[in-house]
Amino acid sequence: MRGYAKGAAQGRGVASSAPMTADRVALVRRPSPQLADGLVTHIKRSSAVDSELALRQWHGYVDALLATGFVVREVEPVPDCPDGVFIEDPLLVFGDLAVVAAPAAPSRMPEVAGARKAATVHGLRVVELAGAPGGRRSPEGTIALDGGDVLRVGDTAYVGVGGRTTQGGATAMAHHLGGVGLTVVPVPVSKTLHLKSQVTALPDGTVVGYEPLVDDPSFWPSFLAVPEPEGAHVVVLDPHTVLMSDAAPASAAIFRDRGLAVAAVPMSEFIKLEGSVTCLSVRQHDFD
């Protein structure tokens, strides 16, 4: 696994080797040359993905993490996996616990080994989602789960069920997270690929979403509607800063009015594949 030093220049490769001792660690995986062949489910493949532009945007995303003090570690690439850049889907981290997910899409299974290795190298306690009681099946059925369906707010991990994630996957996640004091709450998902395609959360726990794409806004006890689809996708960088796409300036203004600093980065090529800022990294501090 490679490490980026703070201040790495955009567009370059690994700047230096950084020790894995910081509290704020992010795991990333660079885009595959076959990114344009990535899966799409709820949107039409309306325009071609520019792989070179996507790589530049990925470097810009990494630089935004570095700028707020993260140690960024690069998971070994999977050039034959078009969706491999979406590292959040095969791996979730909760404090020192890493849960290796169980992708439903067969084409994404080869992404899992490198994610598992990265968690092990980082010194995390690694468990397999499919290692919950029942193996690949639970009493509720097949165990399948993408990390993009898991949203933590406080001591609750909401798990989207209905797309790439099954009820069996949610049950298996509850088995693993119960040991670290987290409660799993299943959330029906039908309008989007993942739960975090619909909603994410601000540092104070307020859930944000673009209402036309949210299955049930009333489900969330504290819900803030935003005016743009990409405004629903934020990454918490610290208690006062969020990272988001530059395609949602009106939403960014709302967040700034709430006292937050906003780092906005281009994400156009990943949006074409139903991706967002949440998909491109696994951040250990989110779950501390």
Where do we find the tokens 């600093």?
261
**Is there a catalytic annotation at residue 194?**
yes
| From 59, 122, 176, 279, active-site residue | 279
Sign of CA dihedral 135, 140, 142, 144: negative
Please state the φ and ψ torsions of residue 244, each to the nearest 5 degrees.
Answer: -155, 175
Tell me which DSSP letter residue 228 carries: S
Tell me which DSSP letter residue 104 carries: S
| From 194, 233, 240, 285, active-site residue | 194
Alpha helices by DSSP H, listed for 101-227, are: 112-121, 167-177
Edge-first strand order for the sheet with 199-201 is: 199-201, 207-209, 223-225
- DSSP β-bridge partners for residue 4: 72
**Is there a catalytic annotation at residue 81?**
no
Element (H, E) at 275: none
Whole-number Å distance between alpha carbons of 278 and 87: 10
Whole-number Å distance between alpha carbons of 201 and 186: 16
Residue 242, both tokens: 């969020």
Query: Residue 167: which residues within 8 A CB-CB, separation 6 or more?
Result: 138, 140, 141, 161, 186
Sign of CA dihedral 217, 219, 223, 229: negative
Whole-number Å distance between alpha carbons of 87 and 12: 20
Catalytic positions, written as ranges? 194, 279
